[in-house]
Structure 1
C-alpha cells in the first residue's frame, strides 16, 4: 500500500500522478504503476522510477556527443597540429599532435543523471533499516552509478538544469531529467514528521496551488478533447484606454470546440478549508475568491454572447469535506467544487470529469 504524504493526507501514488500531469508527462503514467503501488514515500518512488528509466536508457545506450580533442597519437587522426608536432620532434617517433572529434558520454544530461543517482544512493532518507525494498533500491542506485562510469561524477547546480537541451532523439531522457530536477529541489532534509520530500514539495500554499493548477489544466487537456483548455490573458474593457490598466490571466479557460462555443473560467485555489466562518456566523464561500472569478466574467461581457453567458468554477483540492455548490449572479452561473486528493486515483479522475460535466450541462 502506498504511503500518505504527511499532514496533507495525499497518498504517494496520487502525488506522483499530480506531478506527471503537471509536467505534461501523463503518457508515462502506465509504465510507472508498479513502482507507485509499492512506494512507501515520494522520494523512494522518485528514486525507483529514476532507476527504472535510467535502466532503459542504459539498455538503449546512453546519448553521446562529439567533443573536440587535441592529443598526441601514433600515426595520424583527424587534422595534424603541425606547430606542436614539429616543435616536439614527434614525427621521428611516429607520433603527431592531432585535432579530432571523439564520441564521449560526458554530456550535461548524463552528468545530471549520474550525480542524482549518486545523491539518492547516499541519501539518509532512503537508508534501509532492515533488508527489504529500500536495501534493493540502494543497491540498484549504486549499480547504475557504476554503470555510468564513463560520465564524470560532479556536483550539479540549478544552472546545470537551466542549460539542459534535449534533441528530437532524446525523448527517453524527459522523464528521468524531470525527476532529477525535482530531487534537486527536494535536496534539503526537513525536521517535519512524515514524508520529508512531500513537506518540501508542498511547503507552502503557493507552490501547491501552482502544482494543482497545472495538474487540472493538463488533465482536462488530455481527457476532455471536446474543449479548448488553456490559460487566457484578459483585458479590462476600459473605454478611456488608460495606459496603466493591468491585464488578468486565468488559471484555466474552457471553451467548447463546437457551437455555441460555451465558456467556463476556472480558478484553482488551495485552502485548508473551502468554506469559512466569521465570528459566530454560518459557513460561507471565500469572498476574495468569488470576487476574482466574478471580475474575470463581468469584464469580458462586451466581447460576445458566449462571454455574456460564461460560467465560472472555483475548484479546490481537499482531503476533508467535499463541496459541490452553485450560485447564479447577474447572468453567470458560478460553481464551487472540491476534488478529494485522498481518494483512489480512479475516483480523482472520475471526480474531475464529473465536475466538468456539471459546468457544461447538456
Structure 2
C-alpha cells in the first residue's frame, strides 16, 4: 500500500474539495500547498481560512431561551420557581425569555475544534498563531466534549449554510484527532493510511468529479432490486451503486474500489478480484429490465493504481465490463484527463 499512502497532499486536497462539493474554495483560495505539508496542517489551514471569512461576515447568532430571576420581568413568568422567592421574602420573579445569542452549537463546535488543534504538537507555528488569533473572537462562546451525535444533529438551512463546509472540516478533524486525557495533548491520525476512510473519500470524490466535470452527464446513486421472486424477499441484501452515470444515451454503473491491490495472486499468477466482478455483474443483470439504457449498460470497476495500470475491457451478452485504474500519485490534470477519458 506504499504508493497509496504517499498520495501527494495536493491531490488529497482536491479530492476533499470534490467530496465536499466545495470547488469554489479551490478557485477563490490560493492556499499555497507545499509538498512537505502534512494532513493536519492542511486541514488547519483550510479551517483557518474559512473561519476568517466567517468572522469578517459576522458570527452567526440565534435566539436562545435564557432563564433568570430578578425584580424586573422579561418574557414568560415561571410561577413554580417564583413561589420559592416569595417564601423567602425576596422580591424576585423567575422568568424565561428569548435573546439573540452567539453561544449556539455551530459556534461551540468551531471553538472547540480550534482549541483542540492547538493541542497538536506537530502543528506548524504559523497555523498555531493563526488559530490562537481566531479563538479570541469566540470569547463568549462555550466549549464542549465533541462526539459524532453532535455533528449528526446539526442541521443547515438558508440562514447558516455558509457553516456547512466549516463543520465538515471540523468533523473530519474530530474523526482523526486522538486527545490524551492525561496531559491534554493531541495527535492527529493520518486517515490516508486508513483504507476504510480513504475508500469513502475515493468514492465520493469520483462521484462528485463526474457531476462537476462531465458536462451533460446525470450522476447519482441508485438502488437495484433483485430479479427474484419468493416469500422472504426482506432477507435479500440491499444493492446500491457507488455511481450511476448517464451520458450520451449510455448508462454506466461504476464501483469505486479503494483496495491495496487491484489484482490478487492465484497459484503464482495475478487475477482480478472475483468478488468485485460478481458484484458488478449482479448489478448489471438485475437492473436490465429497468430501461433500455439499463438493458445495455456498461459496468466499470475503478481502482487506484498501485503496481500497474489496468485497462481491461470485456463483453458479456448485452453488457461491457471494464476494469480501470487511476494513478492518484500523478499530476492533478493527468488524473482529471484519465477519469474523463474512461467515459468519453
- The TM-score with structure 2 as length reference comes to 0.85
Output one character per residue of 1:140-199: Cα deviation in whole Å (capped at 9) or x when no partner: 111111221010133222222122122312122111111110111001289xxxxx8563
How is 1:322-333 mapped onto 2 (pairs within 5 angstroms)?
322-333=309-320
In structure 1, the residue matched to 2:325 is 338
Whether 1:318 aligns to 2:305 is yes
Question: Given that residues 320 and 340 in structure 1 are in contact (C-alpha distance below 8 angstroms), is that contact kept between their aligned partners in structure 2?
Answer: no
Question: Given that residues 106 and 150 in structure 1 are in contact (C-alpha distance below 8 angstroms), is that contact kept between their aligned partners in structure 2?
Answer: yes
In structure 1, the residue matched to 2:151 is 161
In structure 2, the residue matched to 1:12 is 9
Q: Give the Cα separation in 2 of the matches to 1:188 and 1:7.
A: 23
In structure 2, the residue matched to 1:352 is 339
Question: Given that residues 8 and 319 in structure 1 are in contact (C-alpha distance below 8 angstroms), is that contact kept between their aligned partners in structure 2?
Answer: no
DSSP-derived class of the 1:238 partner: coil
In structure 2, the residue matched to 1:249 is 240
How big is the shift at 1:313?
0.9
Whether 1:27 aligns to 2:24 is yes
How is 1:1-362 mapped onto 2 (pairs within 5 angstroms)?
8-37=5-34, 40-72=37-69, 77-78=74-75, 83=82, 98-126=95-123, 134-188=124-178, 197=188, 199-204=190-195, 206-238=196-228, 243=233, 244-256=235-247, 261-281=249-269, 283-357=270-344
Q: Give the Cα separation in 2 of the matches to 1:7 and 1:262.
A: 32
Say what the alpha-carbon RMSD is for the aligned residues. Answer: 2.9
Q: Give the Cα separation in 2 of the matches to 1:173 and 1:161.
A: 12
Q: Give the Cα separation in 2 of the matches to 1:198 and 1:29.
A: 24
DSSP-derived class of the 1:313 partner: strand
Question: Given that residues 66 and 103 in structure 1 are in contact (C-alpha distance below 8 angstroms), is that contact kept between their aligned partners in structure 2?
Answer: yes
DSSP-derived class of the 2:177 partner: coil
Structure 2: 5+ residue stretches without partners:
181-186
Structure 1: 5+ residue stretches without partners:
127-133, 191-195, 358-362
DSSP-derived class of the 2:288 partner: coil
How big is the shift at 1:297?
1.6
Q: Give the Cα separation in 2 of the matches to 1:343 and 1:197.
A: 26
Q: Give the Cα separation in 1 of the matches to 2:319 and 2:4.
A: 36
Q: Give the Cα separation in 1 of the matches to 2:88 and 2:58.
A: 39
Question: Given that residues 253 and 263 in structure 1 are in contact (C-alpha distance below 8 angstroms), is that contact kept between their aligned partners in structure 2?
Answer: yes
- The TM-score with structure 1 as length reference comes to 0.81
Q: Count how many residue pairs are aligned between Structure 1 and Structure 2.
A: 333
Output one character per residue of 1:320-354: Cα deviation in whole Å (capped at 9) or x when no partner: 42222212222322211111111122221121111
